[in-house]
């Protein structure tokens, strides 16, 4: 499911970046690509860290990882927002591709499961 979500995420990021490049310019498209890349790294980070946590079954480690990961993500986004060439519309569009990808992967998985039972 993670791979399917990542594929959808890359497709959405590229498509939205193309639209932003056409309508808003290169800076907005690059901001979208950057936001999508950050969320793709976040997705893979979640996958790797949760697999380690489930292997060790430590609740304290899980809480620490969640707090630390989101702290780092917040610092990165804060520093990106301070850069002059980052366009907020592009960055938010790139960050939101994760939500679109999760919805698409879930709907696709449900659609495939429904068609197999027919």
DSSP secondary structure letters along the chain = -HHHHHHHHHHHHHHHHHHHHHHT-HHHHHHHHHHHHHHHHHHHHHHHHHHHHHHHT-HHHHHHHHHHHHHHHHHHHHHHHHSSS--HHHHHHHHHHHHHHHHHHHHHHHHHHHHHH-
90-96 average pLDDT score: 90
Is this structure's pTM higher than 0.85?
no
Q: What is the pLDDT of residue 52?
A: 75
Looking at residue 12, its pLDDT comes to 93
pLDDT of residue 117: 61
Please state, rounded to an integer, the average pLDDT across all residues of the chain.
85
Q: 37-92, pLDDT tens digit by residue?
A: 999 988 888 888 778 777 777 777 777 877 888 898 889 888 888 888 888 888 88
- Pick the more confident residue, 14 or 51: 14
User: Looking at the predicted structure, is the pLDDT value of residue 19 above 80?
Assistant: yes
What pLDDT shows up at residue 55? Answer: 77
The predicted pLDDT at position 118 comes to 56
How confident is the model at residue 50, as a pLDDT? 77
């Amino acid at each position: 499911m993670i791979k399917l979500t990542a594929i959808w995420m890359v497709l959405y990021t590229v498509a939205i970046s193309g639209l932003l490049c056409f309508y808003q310019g290169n800076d907005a498209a690059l901001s979208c690509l950057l936001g999508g890349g950050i969320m793709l790294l976040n997705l893979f980070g979640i996958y790797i860290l949760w697999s380690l946590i489930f292997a060790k079954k430590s609740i304290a480690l899980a809480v620490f990882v969640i707090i630390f990961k989101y702290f780092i993500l917040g610092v990165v986004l804060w520093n990106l927002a301070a850069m002059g060439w980052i366009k907020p519309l592009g960055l938010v569009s790139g960050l939101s591709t994760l939500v679109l990808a999760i919805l698409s992967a879930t709907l696709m998985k449900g659609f495939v499961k429904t068609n197999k039972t027919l």
